[in-house]
Chains A and B, each alone.
Chain A
Amino acid sequence: MQRYILSRIVQSLLILLGVLFIVFFMLQLTGDPVSLMVSRNASPEQMEMLREEMGFNRPILIQFGDFIGGALVGDFGMSLRHRQPAMELILERLPATVELAATALLIALLIGIPLGLLSGSNPGSFWDTLARGAGLVGQTIPNFWLALILIVVFSVELGWFPTFGRRTWDVFGMELPTKSVILPAFSLGLFTTGQLVRFTRSAVLEIKNEDYVRTAYSKGLKDNQIYLRHILRNASIPLISIVGVQFGYLLSGSIYIETIFSWPGIGNLLAEAIGNRDFALVQAIAFFASLVVVTLNLLTDIAYGLADPRIRYGD
């Protein structure tokens, strides 16, 4: 197990290095980065000045070395627009994105797993039909479309939720979520919900036929004991990887959902940075998102190993 964790850590670091490489050279591939940053009628002198200021006139390897060196300490340079370090901007927006992602995941778990369990345990039943429908809809409906519908119905018509923005409830310096997160989180978690329903359902259907489930029945256990203790417990191991990967995806920020709801998170920041051709910020966000995904995948793999005694006590 230790060796496994170690090799996964090394692997993750290599991936991140690769990401840095891509993030850096993507900008170079565009030819002259400065020409992308300035307005079309800028004078050559202005461009030269900017080139000087950004260090683009130095040899490329030196620039890359600088970039890596900076990245290792979280320094991706200044945002052109905000005149503020890029990383600082990201960290400012992080709480909003975490709030949104965590709520989305929570909703997905609370809906997806029970529904998947109900449907897998009674295939062909009303619950099964419902769950299969929900799974399909969740995975095929575009989340921004659902977001708009939800806004029209629940915010505009019924007035239950704000139409946009994030409101928090400050208690002793902590920013606690309010109902403003519900609609964006539901829309964002839609795909994950669908995936969890479908995955839980098929895992339950498969595990139901395992020999050890028959053994559990032969002991005279009750159905709910068998489903929770034996079937769900075994299904939870592969579920861990889905949940981990999905959380990484949710956390790296959603441009659509955050923009539609004017949610002040990282996705929103990215949309803005792209619009402003704020390259330092785009690079920083791209790297940050990869960092989140890679870290979560690593943690997922470790959790997976810990949850499965065959791996935990294996070599």
Chain B
Amino acid sequence: MSRILTVKNLVTRFYTFDGVVHALNGVSFHLDHGETLAIVGESGSGKSVTMMSLLHLLPMPPARIEEGEAVFEDDDGPIDLLKLSKPERRRVRGGKIGYIFQDALSALNPVMTVGRQVRESIMEHLSLDQKAARERTIQLLEHVGIPGAKSRYGNYPHQFSGGMRQRVMIAVAIACDPKIVIADEPTTALDVTVQAQIIELTKRIQDELGISVIWITHDLGVVAGIADRVLVMYAGSAVEISPVDRLYEHPQHPYTEGLLAALPRVGAKRGKRLASIKGSPPDLQEPPRHCQFAWRCPYNFDRCWASAPPLFEVGEGHYTKCYYDMDQERPR
């Protein structure tokens, strides 16, 4: 499979009044054409900041992208998303990369009709006149499963249910045939059945349009059903990257192992308490000088405290930032 996006050593910090927040400490990953990459990790691990850095969507100040590159394979050759001019950046946003935000109620403008919110993106990127853009909007709304799309074109976001609003959000994201769609926890605000419908819809659209999807979630349970590969984030780093089956069978980072152990299993004995990872994530105001998981890690040893581990390749397409070989039960 061919690459569509390669992110290398992304470093993003926030310069706040209380000090520097080291939100991303060198995040690297790639995305192939047509695949789904899931990004998991606990709250505050930097999942959203990673994605928003790529599209320059962070408030600057306080945010600053300090290092790294994000090479996107555009139609006429590779471009570095982090070094684009303003007009180029606008062409990529919405046109090449669509973004689905977590809470559709706050992510849609409350005083603009949903139709116009989809249409304005179309008019920005595709050379269509108002009428044609309106037609396309209605088709899109139908396509994402909004019943009576034509009559609902002029409705406002608050007149939709949560699931329907998220469908509108999806229509916005795919309106201009992007190559990549970033879905930032699109289902956390929804109940389980609606959540399943939205996942189903996203998969269908991905197959039809052949787009690549980055699916952010903190629910490892969802990941198995949707992703080809998984990136596990912890304290501003990508600590493990793996094909999805390998990750479940063979986690190679103690943090991932902890996350998996915390999953409720089918057939688990009743009354048995779920394991959860002890301790809390590091204070991001300190730059990382050693493994950021060390004080929570059951395997930690002296080297873990001396330096931050680099990324080790531990199998085909499988990488981990850990000094300990969990298969051999000894340091690497």
Chain A interface (Cβ within 8 Å of chain B)? 209-212, 214-222, 225, 229-230, 233-234, 237, 307-310, 313-314
- Say whether A221 contacts B111, CB under 8 Å: no
- Say whether B91 contacts A215, CB under 8 Å: no
If A233-B111, A308-B111 touch, whether A220 touches B124 (CB-CB below 8 Å) is: yes
From A210, A221, A229, A309, B90 is in contact (CB under 8 Å) with A221
B55 to chain A, nearest CB (A): 6
- Say whether B125 contacts A309, CB under 8 Å: no
- Say whether A221 contacts B120, CB under 8 Å: yes
- Say whether A216 contacts B101, CB under 8 Å: no
Which of A210, A215, A237 lies at the interface centre, i.e. has the most chain B CB atoms within 10 A of its CB? A215
- Report chain A residues within 8 Å CB of B90: 220-222
B232 to chain A, nearest CB (A): 25
A290 to chain B, nearest CB (A): 32
A189 to chain B, nearest CB (A): 28
Interchain Cβ contacts under 8 Å between A and B, 7 examples: A212-B108, A216-B109, A218-B101, A219-B121, A220-B91, A234-B109, A310-B158
How many of chain B's residues touch chain A, expressed as a range? 20 to 34
Which of B92-100, B191-199, B262-270, B303-311 lines the interface with chain A? B92-100
Which residues of B13-66 have CB atoms within 8 Å of chain A's CB atoms? 52, 55, 57, 59
- Say whether A219 contacts B93, CB under 8 Å: yes
- Report chain A residues within 8 Å CB of B109: 212, 215-216, 230, 233-234
Q: Does B275 contact A (CB under 8 A)?
A: no
- Say whether A220 contacts B92, CB under 8 Å: yes
From B89, B107, B124, B125, A214 is in contact (CB under 8 Å) with B107
Q: Does B295 contact A (CB under 8 A)?
A: no
Q: Does B328 contact A (CB under 8 A)?
A: no
- Say whether B91 contacts A310, CB under 8 Å: no
- Say whether B107 contacts A220, CB under 8 Å: no
Q: Does B103 contact A (CB under 8 A)?
A: yes
If A215-B107, A215-B108, A220-B94 touch, whether A229 touches B57 (CB-CB below 8 Å) is: no
- Say whether B101 contacts A229, CB under 8 Å: no
Task: A272 to B101: give the CA distance in the assembly, Å.
Answer: 63
Q: Does B110 contact A (CB under 8 A)?
A: yes
